[in-house]
Amino acid sequence: MGKIIGVCNQKGGVGKTTTTINIGAFLAQSGSRVLIVDADPQANATSGLGIDKKTVQRGAYEALMGIAALEEIVLSGPVQNLFVAPSSVSLTGAEIELVDTPQREFRMKAMFGATKEQYDFIFIDCPPSLGLLTLNVLVAADSVIIPLQCEYYALEGLSQLMDTISLVKKSLNPLLAIEGVVLTMADYRTRLTGEVIKEVQEYFKDKVFESIIPRNIRLSEAPGFGQPILLYDPFSIGALKYESLAKELIARQPHNAQSQSSALFPEQAAAVEQDSGVQGAGNTAG
């Protein structure tokens, strides 16, 4: 299948990395071959999967910049069939370096190449911004999962992400789709959670996953031990919900799911950057 899914939300603290790690881990446990690419300079997905980011000598930065091939940086994860392309502090400077790089929006797409066919699913943990790294993810991805925290301002600021996805779909990646919206950190003791769930379901309709991730202390603790929740506490409510979410994701896949290539042009990329406010948009690529 080789499906690439970006996990994106420019707002931090919404459960983006937790969702990336745990969907990937449960899919791997079920037999799918899964690669998690940590495209966030904070490297939380890397450390959350038991890899010390300080020891990463070659990671996502080197693969993105063409210093190393993707297959050269991939490490084994803590679950069988789970693999990790780690991040490190080096990725912090990638957006600045990419500004003057020809075809800068397509570096990640080129990075995957034929390697994507070695996996059933590739999940990319995006940084909490709409800069060039996230734009690269949207150009490379087949679809996007959007985690939304069950809070009062859940939909605030989401319009910018949706506009960026729309622009990328129009000009750079016509097949980009919204895989689904994951509601996270639900606290059913509050009336607010129910109101937010209703509002999000009205806005996104059938794109909202039925599996809603609750606030769960075990989910919060697991990254500190470098483990996905299925290893840290497989019987916790957080584990059960992420397992359910992984099953939903599988059920949504068509039997003939296949990524297709399309012609992409630098002038279209520049237009998307300007319209979406990507940092460095005033510079012309190449």
User: Is residue 142 within 8 Å of 131, Cβ to Cβ?
Assistant: no
Following CA atoms 206, 209, 212, 213 in sequence, which dihedral angle do they give, to the nearest 10 degrees?
-150
For the chain, the C-alpha Rg in angstroms (whole number) is 18
Distance CA 161, CA 10 (A): 7
Asked whether residue 154 carries a pLDDT value surpassing 80, the answer given is: no
Residue given tokens 């584990």 in the structure block: 239
Q: Which of 5-19, 30-44, 84-98, 216-230 has the lowest mean pLDDT?
A: 84-98
Following CA atoms 241, 138, 30, 248 in sequence, which dihedral angle do they give, to the nearest 10 degrees?
40
Mean pLDDT of the chain: 89
- pTM for this model (two decimals): 0.88
User: Average pLDDT for residues 176-199, to the nearest whole number?
Assistant: 93
Instruction: Give me the amino acid identity at 24.
Output: G
Task: Classify 21 as helix, strand or coil.
Answer: helix
**Where do the domains of the chain lie, and which CATH numbers do they carry?**
3-276 (3.40.50.300)
- Listing DSSP states for 225-283 in one string gives GT--HHHH-TTSHHHHHHHHHHHHHHHTS-TT---------HHHHHHHHHHHT-TTTTS
